[in-house]
Structure formats: C-alpha cells, structure tokens
Amino acid sequence: MNAADLGLPVDVPSTALFTDQYELTMLQAALRGGTADRRSVFEVFTRRLPEGRRYGVVAGTGRVLDAVENFRFDAGVLGFLRERGIVDEPTLAWLADYRFGGDVWGYPEGEVYFPGSPILRVEGSFAECVLLETVILSILNHDSAIAAAASRMSAAAGDRRLIEMGARRTHELAAVAAARAAYVGGFSSTSDLAAGFRYGIPTVGTSAHAFTLLHDTERDAFRAQVESLGRGTTLLVDTYDVAEAVRAAVEIAGPELGAVRIDSGDLLLVAHRVRQQLDELGARDTRIVVTSDLDEYAIASLAAAPVDAYGVGTRLVTGSGHPTCSMVYKLVARAESADPKAPLRSVAKKSLGGKMSVGGRKWAARRAGADGVAEAEVVGTGPVPAELADRQLLVELVKGGEVVAREPLDAARDRHLAALGRLPMSAIQLSRGEPVIPTEYV
C-alpha cells in the first residue's frame, strides 16, 4: 500500500472550511443573481518573486489535488454554516451536493516558475471554481515558499545531504507539508515521522543533548546509544568538550562509528578539528553532520569544511525569510452562460499600485537557446507559436472532476532537479538579483 493512501494521523474530515467566508457569500449572491453557472477560468500566478530570488519552485500540487477531492460539505459543516447564518438555505442545499466537476491544468510539481507564470488554471462554473481559491492558495503559497528555500539550500550544499528538521519550529500540520516541500526542493530526509508516514519520505534521528544530560557521564550516554542503535549511529559531541567527546565516541563505537553531530560553536573551525581528530583516531569513514540555525548562506560558507550533511530547521520551514510566494487566484476569463460553446471573454482587474492582472485563458512555454538553456518564459492567450508547441509547461491535472495526474513524490523531486539544470547557471547564485529569465507576453 502507498503510504499516501493511509492519510494523515490527524483528524481533518474535510477541506471545505479551509476557506474564507466571502467565497461562500459570493456564491450565494451569484446563485441568486443567476450568474453562478457561467463558465469561468481562474488562474494562479504571482506578480513578482520574493525580493532577490531568481526563480520560484512549484510545490504542493499533489496536496492541492487531495484538497480538491476532499472538498465536501458534510452534515456537520453544513450545520455550522446554518447555525452561524453564513449563507441561506438555497445555498446550503447547493453546497450539500458540491463536487468539483471542472478541469485543472498547471505546472507539474517541481517545475520552476517566474512572475506571471500561470502556475495553475482552474476551469468550470464560477460557483465551483471560486470556492477553491483559499485552499489552493494556502497550499501553493506555503509549499512553494518552502521548496524554493530548500532548492537554494540544496544548490549551496552541492552533493552533501540535507536533513529537514524544522517540525518544532512551525505548526504541527505545516511541519508535515514543509517536509514534503523540502523533499521536492532537494532535501534527502526528515526528522518528522508524520511526514514519513504520510508521504514515504526517509526519516532520520538519533539523540539530543537531553539524552547525554540524562546520564552520569557522556561516556555512559554514548555507550547506551551504541549498544541500542549500533555502531553506525550518530553521536552528538558538543554537549561538553568536543575533543573529549570525539575521543570517547571512537573508543566506544570504534572506527565503524557512523557519524558525529556538531550543533554549536564556530562550525567551520570545529568541523576541521573534528575531521582531523577522527582521521587520527582511525575513524576515517565517520561522517560529520552539522546543525545549528543553518540557512543557504551558512551552508555556502561551509563549502570548504569537511562536512557530510546539514540539518536545517527554522530557516527552512519559514521559507528562509520569505514564508509566502504572494500567489493570487484571479478570474481571467468567463462566458455569458454555462454553454461550453459560449465564447470566453477576457476579464482583468485594473488598479494602481502594481496589482494589475493580465486577462485571458493563458498558455505558457519556456523558450530555450541552441544549448537547451532557458532564455524566456513566454505567456500568451492566442495560438501557441509552432516553435513553442513542444515546450508548453501546463499539464492536465484534473479532467471533469477526476484527478488524472497523481504521481510519486520522487517524480516531482527529479523534475525539479532537471528543471533547475536547464536554467542559466546564475540561477543558483545566492547574491540578490532579478529573475534569471524574463517573462514575455505574446
């Protein structure tokens, strides 16, 4: 059985209330006004990347598909809406039968995106599409922010492993989503067991300082851990004196000791000293894991250090300073009726302050040079130019209300690595800059 089929070990019976009240009041007004059935197209996009970022990462698509499938108004939810007087009885009757029956197209999970990229396109009646706005945005904004931070950290780490360990720094359910997004962005494992249970992500973990402090001596703690977990375990060596701890660790576990973890101090200096000491003690294959408030810049600064893996928590699960992607969900086209043959009319908000939108049902393609490296994100509403026909980015995710593109999480992870490899090399620079390729509208 796929672990994802088991569901979260947390009682979340429906995603229907993961929404804002005005979605339901708009629905009521549209039902009464006779416009609820109008065929509509909504798109998710961002007007800009977080300051200094050169690309974004699409993450959370699989969770969006789960949320759409589970968007149901059961008796308890309807009772809550009735008790609060949020919508009237005709609207409650409509919600009781709600099932999304439209189509969803989007960038596949793990793909990169840029300002204006139509990351997700939701098509159906106004009524069925408008209800999904909040839950879609909450998932994509959170997960894509985490995945982008993870991607930058992964680029800085090179071929060294990254461990997600931020569960204690965020909401318990957000921690599971963050671990998933981090895995898409290049992390190799997580400390969060709920994420391992729900998504099959490899889990790791051995001991904290509390375990050492529990024992009368550090040697007693190491001995107990090795006897229980084996010589391949990871021993935490910075509770007291690092040099003495490394010596004790090798004496107790032998040269087969799996790893030592350093969680404080000048990590660059300490890592060099520990590596030299391990080698002198014959533990040449023992790895060094470092933790302690790391981000992509700290990881990059340790590139010359003899480090084998990084454990990252707070900065990862908060998007390394950018906890949202500022994605929006906008109506871009609508028909005069529910007739599938009725022509779509482009619509767009017009306002000052940089919040203007581009109307029309859009396609997107990534133009590349002769070397295969991306040159521009091309977004259009008319016919797709012949030279871009095989470079289109949107794929069908939901057809007639049925999910048609569910995939293993590793597929998204592999896709991201491939997508990043097709961008200009400057994409992975940590210095501040503009998006690595421009967005062109045609």
Average model confidence (pLDDT) across the chain: 95
Maximum Cα–Cα distance for the chain, whole Å?
A: 80
At residue 350, the pLDDT reads: 81
Query: 313: which residues sit within 8 A by CB, 6+ positions away?
Result: 164, 165, 166, 168, 169, 291, 293
Query: 199: which residues sit within 8 A by CB, 6+ positions away?
Result: 3, 4, 176, 179, 180, 183, 409
> In this model, does residue 30 exceed pLDDT 50?
yes
CA–CA separation, 111 and 405 (whole Å): 15
Out of 104-118, 304-318, 345-359, which region has the weakest mean confidence (pLDDT)?
A: 345-359
Strands 374-380 and 439-441, bridge-based pairing: parallel
At residue 357, the pLDDT reads: 81
> In this model, does residue 260 exceed pLDDT 90?
yes
Tens-digit pLDDT profile for residues 290-327:
999 999 999 999 999 999 999 999 999 999 999 999 99
Q: For residues 125 and 273, is the Cβ–Cβ distance under 8 A?
A: no
Phi first, then psi, for residue 377 (nearest 5°) are: -95, 115
Q: How confident is the model at residue 9 (pLDDT cuts 50, 70, 90)?
A: very low
> In this model, does residue 174 exceed pLDDT 80?
yes
DSSP secondary structure code for residue 17 in this structure: T
* Single pTM value for the model: 0.94
CA–CA separation, 442 and 331 (whole Å): 19
> In this model, does residue 199 exceed pLDDT 70?
yes
At residue 349, the pLDDT reads: 83
Instruction: Tell me the average pLDDT across 45-70.
Output: 96
pLDDT above 70 as % of the chain: 96
Q: How confident is the model at residue 13 (pLDDT cuts 50, 70, 90)?
A: low
> In this model, does residue 116 exceed pLDDT 70?
yes
At residue 4, the pLDDT reads: 47
Query: Per the structure block, which two tokens stand in for 17?
Result: 């209330």
Q: Which helix (H) or strand (E) holds 89?
A: helix 89-96
Instruction: Tell me the average pLDDT across 377-386.
Output: 96
Instruction: Tell me the average pLDDT across 190-208.
Output: 96
Strands 103-106 and 120-125, bridge-based pairing: antiparallel
CA-nearest of 417, 171, 189 to 179 is: 189
For residue 138, give Cα distances in angstroms to 67, 188, 300, 378, 405.
11, 25, 30, 26, 21
CA–CA separation, 345 and 101 (whole Å): 21
> In this model, does residue 166 exceed pLDDT 60?
yes
Q: How confident is the model at residue 206 (pLDDT cuts 50, 70, 90)?
A: very high
At residue 387, the pLDDT reads: 95
CA–CA separation, 234 and 412 (whole Å): 30
At residue 10, the pLDDT reads: 45
Query: 421: which residues sit within 8 A by CB, 6+ positions away?
Result: none
The whole-angstrom distance between residue 412's C-alpha and the CA centroid of its chain comes to: 10
At residue 11, the pLDDT reads: 46
Query: 202: which residues sit within 8 A by CB, 6+ positions away?
Result: 188, 189, 190, 196
Q: How confident is the model at residue 353 (pLDDT cuts 50, 70, 90)?
A: low
